[in-house]
A and B are shown apart, each in its own frame.
Chain A
Amino acid sequence: MSFLLLFLYFFQTVTAAGLAVSETDTLGSRFRSDLEHFIEMADPDLDESVYLQILELFEQLSEEKINPNQAGIHQLLELPGVTLRDAQNLIQEREKNGTFHSLSDLLRIDGFNERKLTLIAPFITFESALSKRNNPFSTLNRFLENGRFEAYSRYRQTLEQMEGYRRQAEEGGFIGSPVNYYQRFRYSSSHLSMNLTQAKRAGEPLPDLTQFDSASWHVALRNTGNLRMAVLGNYSVSFGQGLLLWNGGSFGKNMQTTGSISKNERGIQPLNSANAEAAFRGIALTAGKRLQVTGFYSSNNRTSVMHDDGSVNFPREGSYYRTVRERQQMKDLGQETFGGRVRLESRVGYWGVSAFLNRFERPIAQGQRPYHRFLFQGRNLSGFSTDYRFQAGPAHFFGEIAQTGRSGRAFLGGAGFSAGNSTDLILLYRNYQTGYQGIFGSSFSEQSGYPRNESGIYFGFSHRFSNRVLIRAFRDQFSFPGPRFQSDQPSAGSEWLLLTEYRPRRDLTIYALMRFKTREQETTGQDPFGREVRLLIPVSRNSMRIQAEKQINREIRIRSRIEILRSSPPNETGYLLFQDLRVQLRPNIRLDARVTLFDTDSFSSRVFQFENDLLYVMTNMMLHGQGQRIYLLLYASLFSWADIWIKAATTLYENRTAISSGLSEIHGNRKSDIGFQVRFRF
């Protein structure tokens, strides 16, 4: 604790000394694109692939900004943390008191405070959209309206040498250099989007500039007459509540408790990230207004482990291609997918029907464990679903029911209520059969991976006592009726989250977050006769976090956090403390710095922190053991057409002589990373 105080003191002193105090600054500049705020909503214990999708969502939202003066209720609900009541209040305020001209205007709306604005600011624009003419192709100029070209170049590297680079390629070592390189070229206008993204990850070779291991591209037309979207290249699909088709990123359970629980479909979206394996590649079209019809075809190459008999494992996402062995399996599995959707929109909501047909080039093999019995095997899979979303009085209802193959079914249904002026409630029930195989799905669920083998009920609650005090809570109760990974028998669990936020002044926010999670896990024990039996024991992870954030003046923001985590069994404790500083050195230069201390008994009591990073890079640091982490991030807008980001980070472990294991092992107790990114915009 004294550590924290010391830092607070230090920064206060620096402030007093008068760091570059710049002239006038609007409220807007305080809410710069802040991925950290966005991503911190999510559960830190999720799969990395989920985060990559959330990152993609962040990019999409920030590139196709929503104008609060024109957006309808469904569009507003796409904004993170915006509840139905927020959207209704916004529209009401707009109808009553006219248009909004700036972010601070949004503070007029009941329930909107600066914290909420921080979250949605990157996705909002007040520039009025183009005029709507019936024939948008009349002139080329109209078609290229608001055109903009962007190029990104990003370099990142871990400075310490990993085991993989010590070994020769023939001995199973990494073939390429430890450099992470990413580049992207994009042209977008109101109706046209063209993009090429290429990436080489650490350890992957790059013989020449045409041979990036990860790449995506697209040419897309949007909002031209009856054509809502047409994409050639890589794209993501998100329909309904995500039971059947959803690779567009979404939050599951999150700190907002009542926001972002029901899904707001984004349909077909051109892909921006290099992570093309997780999405589709081919052609997709959406046309129509109230009655929308979507069709897509995809032919993608996936990476999976091949067996001697020619069958393969189910393809994974996020595979690396660093070693000879990894490269042999690279994109060796062809996958063809057809899909479509019909959506009928009415004044109160919409109703849709979706379907897909999928074919793998080789048969997917069945594994040996009990839970493998229910997973997809073979080559062909089809699925269909129907979903709804509508409003009735103070409530909105949403749901989807889906089937894959001949038998597996899944259902999700929920309702959200805005009660009185300051209360939101949400309720979500899901029941996914063990045999459901929604391999493209990503719906509300406790487990990672596609929705299956789970039933449960979620209650979310948030209540604003006054402008200063807000509480949020959720409880999720779930069970897994069939076997799952590391558990051959049915199991269950539950989770509580409780958040109290206190804002005594506009520039100070303090919150306390408690999270209690228990899940049954199978272990081996003995019965009274000394025979070996498989027992279910509840395993819990409980954490408590207190965070304070203070805007000292227009230029300086400090943020302190302490987090304590208890896990059992084994009974362990983990601590994380950080002090974060943001300084707006000049109107165009911003510095982020953070010092983190962590001390956990072992991996079971691991702690997490999200970090700000180069734009569109996601850093969710998992920390365990004892140590300290420091990072510095500098952002500068050099010219109106050029921005740069520089990040340097180092983690020093106290009680280790090696970090990580296998090919990623680093000899020593320090891991340092540097990154540099530049963006040109014309």
Chain B
Amino acid sequence: MIQRILFKIFFSLSLPFLLLMIPQGLSAQSSMGARSVSMGLTGVALPGTPWSAFSNSALLPAHNRNVSFYGFRYVGIAEITDMAALFTLPVFHGTLAGAVHKYGFNLYQESRFLTAYKFASGRFHTGISLSYYHVNIGGNYGSAGTLGVDLGFATELTDRLWFGSRLTNLNQPSYGSSDEMLPREVAAGLGYYFSETLFMTAELVKDVLFPLSFRTGLELELVPSFFLRAGFTTEPDTFSAGIGFTQERWLINIGMQQHNPLGLSPALDMGILF
């Protein structure tokens, strides 16, 4: 019994530090949506998903209004779960998106409130997003917040080939008065439709503090509106797979990521189109 209490105390004290040690490449917080998870955390050149609001706002879908929800449980641990909700709205000349993202639990919690706007001129798409980040460390350690700006670009090089890039936290923010900098990333990638039913994307992501990561994913529309997906990342080495089902009014995606040695992480998202 005493051991269990001691363990709990130790666990609750050390968890925030452990969490901070988890590399950015794993936490995947610039790539959301189960489709992205299934396809090796790609997103910078992955058109057709509202979750582009996080990964490359230039790729926000132009035509429909939608509301989506997303959850990702890192290696099955409830305390470290990503949850996000999102809406997109076609507005004058472009698309507007708003999103909320929450990660962590009562002892360590990150929240993000995001607005993004995307506009297209011909085959060139540009997006900008503004996020308010808030981190709260429980046990009276306090909280702090800051603003971050992301830019995204995307081009339809040909009818089949997309190029995309993003710059994360361009304004180099840090939390409150601390020197705790937010991750700064540059990412660029290509997306290619081999045929109407087969799509592949590959990208390079560099965080200032972490090694260059290569990510790639594949999507096959096996039968109309049913998708099979797979992908992998390097730095860290992970691989993933998933399925998706799309209807006129709603869609659902399920993904699973395998990280060695941490294990399996499930992801789920749902969207309603109107």
Contacts and interface: CB of A to CB of B under 8 A. Distances in A.
Given A395-B222, A477-B237, A490-B261, A419 B194 contact: yes
Interface string B231-265: 01010010101000000000000000010110000
Contact of B222 (A392, A420, A490, A492): A392
A419 B261 contact: no
A477 B197 contact: no
B28 interface: no
A606 to B, nearest CB: 26
A393 interface: yes
Contact of B197 (A393, A429, A479): A393
Contact of B232 (A417, A423, A477): A477
Contacts of A423: 194
Contacts of B237: 477, 492, 494
Nearest to B228: A415
Nearest to B260: A479
B216 interface: yes
A394 interface: yes
A475 B260 contact: no
B198 interface: yes
Given A395-B220, A427-B218, A490-B261, A459 B232 contact: yes
Contacts of B45: none
Contacts of A475: 232, 234
A393 B222 contact: yes
B140 interface: no
Contacts of A455: 258
B195 A479 contact: no
Contact of A492 (B195, B216, B234, B261): B261
Contacts of B200: 419, 425
Contacts of A107: none
A584 to B, nearest CB: 42
A479 B262 CA distance: 12
Contact of B239 (A415, A420, A477): A477
Interface in B189-246: 194-195, 197-198, 200, 216, 218, 220, 222, 228, 230, 232, 234, 237, 239, 241
Contacts of A459: 216, 230, 232
A392 B200 CA distance: 19
A457 interface: yes
Instruction: State which size class the interface on A falls in.
Output: 20 to 34
B198 A394 contact: yes
Interface string A447-467: 000000001010100000000
A419 B260 CA distance: 30
Contact of B195 (A392, A394, A415, A490): A394
Contacts of B198: 394, 417, 419, 425
A102 B220 CA distance: 37
Nearest to A480: B260
A392 to B, nearest CB: 7
Contacts of A394: 195, 197-198
B215 to A, nearest CB: 11
Contacts of B232: 457, 459, 475, 477
A167 B45 CA distance: 69
A394 B220 CA distance: 10
A425 B222 CA distance: 15
B195 A419 contact: yes
Interface in A382-411: 392-395
Interface of B: 194-195, 197-198, 200, 216, 218, 220, 222, 228, 230, 232, 234, 237, 239, 241, 258, 260-261
20 contacts: A394-B198, A395-B222, A417-B194, A417-B220, A419-B194, A419-B198, A420-B195, A423-B194, A425-B198, A427-B230, A429-B239, A455-B258, A457-B230, A457-B232, A459-B216, A477-B232, A477-B260, A490-B261, A492-B237, A494-B237
Given A393-B197, A492-B261, 16 more contacts: A392-B222, A395-B220, A415-B228, A417-B198, A417-B220, A419-B195, A420-B195, A423-B194, A429-B239, A429-B241, A457-B230, A457-B232, A459-B230, A477-B239, A479-B260, A492-B237
* Closest 3 pairs (CB-CB, A-B): A419-B194, A457-B239, A479-B260
